[in-house]
Amino acid sequence: NAGVTQTPKFQVLKTGQSMTLQCAQDMNHEYMSWYRQDPGMGLRLIHYSVGAGITDQGEVPNGYNVSRSTTEDFPLRLLSAAPSQTSVYFCASSYGAGITDTQYFGPGTRLTVL
Amino acid sequence: AQSVTQLDSQVPVFEEAPVELRCNYSSSVSVYLFWYVQYPNQGLQLLLKYLSGSTLVKGINGFEAEFNKSQTSFHLRKPSVHISDTAEYFCAVTHYSGGGADGLTFGKGTHLIIQP
């Protein structure tokens, strides 16, 4: 198993540009989520999904969209990038709803918005 | 609402010495507690978790944590650290809201620095 994969690993955007961060898992996990990690802030939940076709907002959803058309993929879209979205983004997945099940994290995408 | 406080942003320790990384939480409902480790330029890995039962939880790499409900704490300990333990450690909490987990709430992290 490849586990949780994220692409790209690094990305530089200009303010106002759009892009999609890709996340895929091959473990047949139902639960997937996106976090952003900022210095001194820990990880903060952006959006999560408990299964295909179901998504919900986390702590910091503004400026981000998600969709879950398949069990395997959970892309994160930035419609109009802002410098405040400069961060490291982590995708995670788990078999169940994330309570008793271990969450597996991807290697992260480092995004810089100029 | 739930929150997690990691009292130390950085903890320097000599190799083979014991270490304790502190974590306190606040929540109005029953919680589930986790410790994750992040090695440089990598994603997070689960060290251990407390769901129920024994308050002393053993994890990977020789780490353990004790859940103390009266103190609302979940401190992480290791009796003897190694250079390879140098990493960022995150305490996290979640609770079951009926419709499913709301995701993890993380502390700001503690950077464990092992000195030779």
Cβ distance B46 to A102 less than 8 Å, yes or no, reads yes
CA B74/CA B35 separation, integer angstroms: 9
Cβ distance B43 to A31 less than 8 Å, yes or no, reads no
Q: What angle do CA A75, A81, A86 make, to 5 degrees?
A: 85
Return the pLDDT at B100: 47
Q: What amino acid occupies position B25?
A: Y
Return the pLDDT at A98: 52
Residue B18 half-sphere exposure toward CB, CA atoms < 13 A? 5
Q: How many angstroms separate the CA of residue B2 from the nearest CA in chain A?
A: 11
Query: In percent, how much of chain A has pLDDT > 90?
Result: 79
CA B26/CA B74 separation, integer angstroms: 11
CA A12/CA A97 separation, integer angstroms: 33
Closest CA relative to residue B86, chosen from B9, B17, B6, B12: B12
Give me A100's structure tokens: 């008793």
Residue A10: is its pLDDT beyond 60? yes
Return the pLDDT at A64: 97
Q: Shortest CB distance from A97 goes to which of B4, B9, B100? A: B100
Closest CA relative to residue A4, chosen from A90, A100, A62, A112: A90
CA A47/CA B8 separation, integer angstroms: 28
Within 10 angstroms of residue B56's Cβ, the number of other Cβ atoms is 11
Q: What amino acid occupies position B29?
A: V
Q: How many contacts (CB atoms, under 8 Å) link A and B?
A: 66
Q: How many angstroms separate the CA of residue A102 from the nearest CA in chain B?
A: 7
Return the pLDDT at A78: 96
Residues in chain A: 114
Q: How many angstroms separate the CA of residue A82 from the nearest CA in chain B?
A: 23
Residues A33-50: tens digit of each pLDDT = 999 999 878 889 899 998
Closest CA relative to residue A112, chosen from A71, A75, A84: A84
* pLDDT tens digit at each of 116 positions of chain B: 778 999 999 999 999 999 999 999 987 677 889 999 999 888 889 999 998 888 999 999 999 999 999 999 999 999 999 999 999 999 998 876 544 445 788 899 999 999 98
Q: What pairing do the DSSP bridges indicate for beta strands A54-57 and A64-66?
A: unpaired
Residues A72-96: tens digit of each pLDDT = 999 999 999 999 999 999 999 988 7
Residues of chain B found within 8 Å of residue A58, distances taken between Cβ atoms: 102-103
Give the pLDDT mean for A52-75.
94
Give the pLDDT mean for A46-59.
92
Q: Shortest CB distance from B100 goes to which of A50, A107, A108? A: A50
In B, what residues contact A, Cβ < 8 A? 4, 6, 9, 32, 36, 42-46, 49, 51, 90, 92, 94, 96, 100-109
Residue in A with minimal Cα distance to B48: A102
